[in-house]
Structure 1
Amino acid sequence: MTVGAGMSPSFAPTLPREAALRHLVRTFEGAGLPNARSDARFLLQHTLSLTPLDLSLRGREPLGAAGAEALRQAAERRLAGEPVARILGAWEFWGLPFALGPETLVPRPDTESVVETALRLLPERERPLRLIDLGTGTGCILVALLHERPGAVGIGLDRSAAALAIARRNAAANGVADRAAFLCGSWLDALEGPFDLIVSNPPYIAAPVIATLEPEVRLHDPQAALDGGADGLDAYRAILADVARRPGLLSAQGALVLEIGYDQANALTRLAQEAGFEDIGFGRDLAGNDRVVTLRPSLAGR
């Protein structure tokens, strides 16, 4: 495989798969890609439709003409800065597969903190529950929760019809379509409670910061899923205002579980208190940053 200025990487059809993987790793490392080894393996397995076991047992088989061309195209896209998940068109979240589209974020490991927190709040596996996921995107949070709580039903809300189509596909692919509904709308405006849980990974990047994000995020994630307004807090204001204005949206023991930016805990505490929430807790992500806020409104007057 060779890479030159203005040239695409190329593979000989006779090149063994395991040799192609080694060359691809070296090329990605030479280009400074941070996850060169895993990126190369994901792309080779995807383009050749191989499982990890296939690659181990049949690594000496040649790429073949079609495989060589497919791998060349995938490698070219990665070297141009396109994220691996976008090239694959799917990504794993909570151990489940999720199809992607231009209108959806790639599910991040940090967002699994939302699922973990929600499950701790709802320890009874078979309990009947009503859930709603605001800005559902791929549906990953809602689908993961329905997968873990078979007595639950849920709604995924999003402003993008295209994202909702992908979320419906993902619910079906993961066996929860009969307990999930997907609606087009903005936050909680048109919904009737009570819900036992309101979850969301809303846009929370301050608008001026978006231009400074890594190209893989800035150029490939949908702007609407990133832009949280001038200070990154617009979505939280809208959600908290809706719940404060309409307390019937939450059941008596209901809660909101929202993903937040790593530096937004203090701001969320202030907004939540202003909206009448007295029970405010935070959960951390894999890096130890505050990543999830759990909110329960005051029961006084409810």
Structure 2
Amino acid sequence: MIVVVGEQVVDLVPAGDGLLRAALGGGPANTAIAAARLGASVAMAARSGRDSFGAAFTNRLASSGVDTRYVVPTRQPSALALATVDETGEARYDFWLAGAADFNWRYTDLPQLEAGTTIHIGSLAAFLQPGAEAIEDWALDHQDRCTISFDPNLRPVALSKPDSLVRLERLAELANVIRVSSDDLHQAYPFTDPLTTARRWLANCNLVIVTHGSSGATALTNDLEVTCTPPPVSIEDTIGAGDTATGALLAWLQANPWPSTEAGLGGLLRFVCTAAALNCTRVGADPPVLEEVTRWMNVPGRDVRRD
């Protein structure tokens, strides 16, 4: 079982003529849904808002096959984000998070998990107090019996906190597996090559995948380093692409032996890149299902469009 911990966010997405539409998102929730659609056994630990979005979030998880037993109902509102999409489909976000349910975790709200479970943490919930401290302590207490996955999914609102880089390094040291974007690493360490940071993190981590947007991704272990380019796609927007990449990574690791060879690591990375590319063919965070990714694996040069 994979247990994903973190936020659910209502993305306000451009709908033309100056209008907006509400799309259910949030990095960890998107990651859980992507992993489930790609065949993994997944549960989501989330704090659900009191508003109508709270119920909609839970229904979204359940309809994608995510176990919702660890969703905690609250009397607080759901988090909101205004998504601005540029001419290339790249999304940027402005957040409304004050008082939101997602960031008020207490240690006792979080489940005690069995040995062998994979825990995924990251994004805003891993950085914003008071809940970030509870999540970090909880993950640390599970470190000896669970695999820890981490996706920083850094946003300026998280990086603006005084201890953000210290917490980033602590969480990276805690993790066994990391998926991080080169944009994240440029924000955190603007004068350091992202792969240099990834190689440094391998002192404590077993696998780091650095995604480079439309340029593909690089997977690194202490013994191997593999790169991959995604299939060419017709981009609607990039919302949720990184989350889908993380979900694909988790699903692949659950279903396959550890990638100890170049071929194995390359197969993992092709799966991750293809899943993320397919997400970009849809509006908003809409991860593909396993059959779609399998169909498009190893189809170089073909334009991927939503059927």
TM tier relative to shorter chain: 0.3 to 0.5
Question: Taking CA–CA contacts closer than 8 Å with sequence separation of 6 or more, which of the two structures ends up with the larger relative contact order?
Answer: 2
The TM-score normalised by the length of structure 1 is: 0.35
Structure number with larger C-alpha Rg: 1
The TM-score normalised by the length of structure 2 is: 0.35
